């Protein structure tokens, strides 16, 4: 997410399963590799989160994560939808991802759009 940042979230499982998530992969701290930083949200029907990319709002003021997810845990490839959400930064410089929002949740429009 930031230049020269050792944090590199990567897809952690096959997207065909409901537990596809983004584990934390920090080059400087290999013991945290298996800790997920962005995962499903059963309460809002979000499964299979992963294959993320990072971008900024059109005005450049906010970081956003773009990812795919499913509304049900049993739909596989055909049930994936593209989604985007704003995220922030932890005091240590690592990304602070939100819990992924359900498909039906209205999200704030990125500034500058």
Per-residue tens of pLDDT for the chain, all 113 residues:
454 454 555 445 555 555 555 555 444 555 554 566 677 889 999 988 878 888 999 999 999 999 989 898 888 778 888 999 999 999 988 889 999 999 889 998 999 98
CB count, 10 Å around CB of 94? 19
Q: Return the pLDDT at 32.
A: 54
Q: Return the pLDDT at 25.
A: 47
This prediction has a pTM of 0.70
Residue in 6, 7, 13 with CA at minimum distance from that of residue 39: 13
Q: Return the pLDDT at 3.
A: 47
**Which residues, 6+ apart, have CB-to-CB distance to 54 below 8 Å?**
1, 63, 64, 65, 66
Q: Return the pLDDT at 52.
A: 85
- What residue spans define the domains of the chain? 22-96
């Amino acid at each position: 997410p930031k230049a020269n940042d050792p944090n590199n979230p990567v897809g952690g499982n096959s997207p065909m399963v409901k537990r596809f998530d983004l584990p934390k992969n920090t080059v400087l701290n290999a013991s945290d590799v298996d800790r997920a930083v962005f995962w499903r949200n059963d309460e809002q029907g979000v499964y299979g989160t992963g294959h993320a990319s990072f971008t900024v709002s059109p005005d450049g003021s906010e970081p956003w994560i773009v990812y795919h997810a499913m509304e049900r845990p049993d739909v596989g490839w055909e049930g994936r939808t593209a989604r985007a959400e704003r995220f922030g930064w932890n005091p240590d410089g690592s990304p602070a991802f939100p819990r992924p929002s359900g498909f039906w949740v209205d999200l704030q429009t990125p500034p500058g759009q």
